[in-house]
């Protein structure tokens, strides 16, 4: 949005300078920049949260699983710890890498389905076999133009019409 606004300002810079509208347009650019910065900040926070989850998810989940296993009265051995660690390593890939991608794909699919549904729900357009166009010309004569599409060959019939090409 800010890039579009800046392009419009640059295109009309002579008018802006002529009417001394620099301050209002500078304020408009500043407001747009603030909105853009809010979006960038929100995106950065989400990205930081995702990266921190990426770093801590496997370790915390493995630790909690082993603690729960021990608190339920079981004994811990190396094969159990190795299996749990491997499992959470695979789960980390799915949760951190594939889940956000799946959410993005789902959102894009919803937009596409909505657009297709809107298109398919438009009213039907019926084919017109004969079209008649009539217009009154400057010299007072009427001209009628018939376009006949019933036959395979399309023909144009003109009656009391004058034609002029302007180059």
Q: pLDDT tens digits for 129-166?
A: 555 554 444 555 555 544 445 554 555 666 677 777 67
Q: pLDDT of 85-120, one tens digit each?
A: 888 888 877 777 777 788 888 989 999 999 999 989
Provide the whole-model pTM: 0.42
User: Of 4, 116, 98, which is closest to residue 54 (Cα–Cα)?
Assistant: 98
Q: pLDDT of 60-73, one tens digit each?
A: 888 999 999 999 99
Q: Beta-carbon neighbour count of residue 13 at 10 Å?
A: 12
- Beta bridge mates, 133: 145
148, 128 contact by CB (below 8 A)? no
Phi then psi dihedrals of residue 77, to 5 deg: -130, 170
120, 132 contact by CB (below 8 A)? no
Measure the CA–CA gap between 68 and 61, rounded to whole angstroms. 10
């Amino acid at each position: 949005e800010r890039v579009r606004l800046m392009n419009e300002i640059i295109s009309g810079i002579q008018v802006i300078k002529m009417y001394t509208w620099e301050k209002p347009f500078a304020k408009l650019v500043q407001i747009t920049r603030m909105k853009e910065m809010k979006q960038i900040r929100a995106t950065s926070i989400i990205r930081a949260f995702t990266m921190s989850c990426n770093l801590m998810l496997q370790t915390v989940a493995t630790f909690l699983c082993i603690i729960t296993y021990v608190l339920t009265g079981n004994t811990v051995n190396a094969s159990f710890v190795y299996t749990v660690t491997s499992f959470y390593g695979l789960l980390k890939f799915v949760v951190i890498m594939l889940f956000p991608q799946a959410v993005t794909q789902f959102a894009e699919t919803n937009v596409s389905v909505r657009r297709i549904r809107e298109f398919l729900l438009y009213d039907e357009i019926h084919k017109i076999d004969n079209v008649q166009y009539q217009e009154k010309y400057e010299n007072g004569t009427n001209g009628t133009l018939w376009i006949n599409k019933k036959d395979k060959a399309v023909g144009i019939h003109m009656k009391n019409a004058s034609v002029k090409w302007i180059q």
